[in-house]
Amino acid sequence: CLAEPEKPHYKGGIIVNPEFNDGVQGWEALGKGEMKQQLSNGNRFLVLHSRTHPLDSFGQKVHLEKDKLYALSAWVQINKGNEAVSAIFRTKDGQLLHAGTVLAKSGCWSMLKGGISTNTTSHADLYFETGNAVVEIWVDSISLQPFSKAQWRSHQDTSIEQARKTKVRFEVTDSDGTKLAGVQVSIKQTRSDFPFGCAMSKNILTSTDYQSWFSSRFKFTTFANEMKWYSNETSGPGQENYTIPDAMVAFAKKNNISIRGHNVFWDNPEYQPRWIKALLSEQIGPAAARRIDSVVSRYNGQLIAWDVVNENMHFSFFEEKIGKNASAVFYNRAHQLDATATLFLNEYNTIENSEDKTANPANYLKKLKEIQAHPGNENLPFGIGLQTHFPALPPNLAYMRAGMDMLGSLGFPMWLTEVDVNTGPNQAVVLEEILREGYSNPYVDGMIIFSGPYIDGCRRMCLTDPDYKSNEAGEVVDKLLKEWKSGEFEATTDANGYLHTSLFHGEYDVIVTHPVTNASKVMIFKVSKGNPDEIIHIKVT
């Protein structure tokens, strides 16, 4: 929240008078509110005042083109309190497209960032609204920038090059330090630094085909159901059985697969152990305390993360039964039991569906800060978990990107935790678009496909046929696993003894062969994020 708004992105794009330097030209009041230009510290902005209804707003007519993506941004403030302010497009046929929301405050400017994707060409009204009928809405530096799909893809590719790769220069010399030209250098990436994983089910324990399929592709996983409370304590209070998750953890360790814990609790009342519904409210707290102590301590140090309370924005089972701070207390206790695990707030529709206001990026940010503000939680290792369940329809990538940018700016690790696409003719196409958008975003630290082979079922999505041959969705995953890896290749040093290349972050084997003696030098090195223009010195004798 800034004292003064920044300049509009893209100089405002297609917005007329984006900084209100020409008064309120190009803008019109909607409803009974009144507009005026206001000046503060040399900065001009628009104020909508005298509002009496939540729909009293102001807007501008814009022309939207078919198959374009529109990135929206604006700086927003209100005159008192804190209120959610949303940007909405109303199309010619009356359709409402929610582009983004920000929790606006009085006394400073907050950035609203969002976007829409269009499938028709039409005029639309862009306007701003808040549920509080009496506060003034102040807005400045509004921008709406259109992109073609080709331009959007180009930005993804550029971002991948910048965020996921590093320019590397090999310097090859002989024993006297003389730089050697024409030296053959063989480079092979052996492990990727970016966690791109897949869900795993108990079926892997009894199928060698499943084991081979998984271990040949993935080094990160989330157990689909096997660590959930209703799976570990099925029969009654205290009757725990960890046989299956223990065996799955052992398999993962044997194959160097890192595990995200999913989940300690699920706030949806439908997904509790059946016996818990027979307990009195005062009995649920002790049962929950026993649960978290049991599962987190059992796998202490063996997991890279925990989804501590799943979907606690859409649901509130434990808050209603135990108290409003139940989630905050659970996060605190989880960290006491396992100080090494990142603690995720895991939600759906945060980046998938702009119409779902419950868990939009602004409310997600608010919820995370509420949990963090609980005594003792200030310095917990929080993580941002975005489930990423999409329908088989063209995704709103502009909204998805804006949401990830907004949440990623907090500085916490951010993962797309349960990526899948519902069954439909465009499933594979949509899956690739989502994965590319996630991987190209520099704030995203990992992605998990929440699906698996045919044996695990194909209710929403699966990646193989019954014989473990990749289907269309699986082919997308296989293609991207290969594309996002430097693979194995050979090259030669130039006349100055250098070899310049750009490599994905990860671990590598390199073999350098002397051009005269044929002597070889073998070495292992790692390309890491944050080391631009890395130089690797190799001496061949």
Question: Which pair of tokens denotes residue 317?
Answer: 């089972």
Specify whether the CB–CB gap between 430 and 394 falls below 8 A: yes
Pairing of strands 57-64, 28-30: antiparallel
Pairing of strands 69-78, 137-147: antiparallel
Determine the distance from the C-alpha atom of residue 422 to the mean position of all C-alpha atoms in its chain, rounded to a whole number.
19
- 303-326 in b/e form (b: 16+ CB < 10 A) is bbbbbbbbbbbebbbbbebbeebb
**Residue 448 identity (one-letter amino acid):** I
Question: Rounded to an integer, what distance in angstroms lies between the CA atom of residue 475 and that of residue 308?
Answer: 32
Which alpha helices (H) appear in 89-242, and where do they start and end? 149-163, 208-215, 229-232
**Which residue is listed with tokens 């084997």?**
509
155: which residues sit within 8 A by CB, 6+ positions away? Answer: 147, 440
User: Out of 136, 347, 352, 418, which one is annotated catalytic?
Assistant: 418
Angle at 80 (CA atoms; ends 399, 114), nearest 5 degrees: 5
User: Out of 129, 233, 311, 437, which one is annotated catalytic?
Assistant: 311
**Residue 470 identity (one-letter amino acid):** S
Specify whether the CB–CB gap between 211 and 250 falls below 8 A: no
Specify whether the CB–CB gap between 117 and 161 falls below 8 A: no
Question: Rounded to an integer, what distance in angstroms lies between the CA atom of residue 176 and that of residue 4?
Answer: 60
Residue 5: CA atoms inside 13 Å, Cβ hemisphere, count? Answer: 30
Specify whether the CB–CB gap between 504 and 485 falls below 8 A: yes
Q: 361-373 and 397-408 helices cross at what angle (nearest 10)? A: 20
Angle at 498 (CA atoms; ends 493, 502), nearest 5 degrees: 95
Helix (H, G, I), strand (E, B) or coil at 24: coil
Q: Which residues pair with 146 in a beta bridge?
A: 70
311 is catalytic: yes
**Residue 403 identity (one-letter amino acid):** G
Active site residues: 311, 418
